[in-house]
Amino acid sequence: MPRHLTTERLALFGTLLATFGELHPLCDHWVQGSKTAMRKRLYGEDLVHADGSPATPYSPRPTMTTSALGRRAVAFHVASVGLVT
């Protein structure tokens, strides 16, 4: 591989790394809401509603596990960062 291509690729990598390194905290504080930030840490088999409130076994509203709610919050976070960048 020619030397100038390696230098250009390293420069592009450094630029992208710096850009995304600065945009990620911005997205965490301005794009992502506090509820999403808290829900990203959820895991387990307990049943909850989409708003995060605990569910009873016979709840008429749709339920999911806390792990599913946490994965949903992470997916929203990734999508929001992707849209901003």
Output the CA torsion 40→46→50→51 (10° steps): -80
- Angle ∠(15,78,61) on CA atoms, nearest 5: 170
Reduced to 3 states (helix: H, G, I; strand: E, B; else coil), residue 62 is coil
Report the pLDDT value the prediction gives residue 79, as an integer from 0 to 100: 87
Q: What is the pLDDT of residues 22-64, one digit of tens each?
A: 878 877 888 888 888 889 999 999 999 999 899 988 889 999 9
Query: Which residue type occupies 35?
Result: K
CB neighbours of 76 closer than 8 A, spacing ≥ 6? 32, 36
Of the segments 5-9, 15-19, 27-31, 70-74, which one has the largest average pLDDT value? 70-74
Q: What is the Cβ-side half-sphere exposure of residue 40, based on CA atoms within 13 angstroms?
A: 11
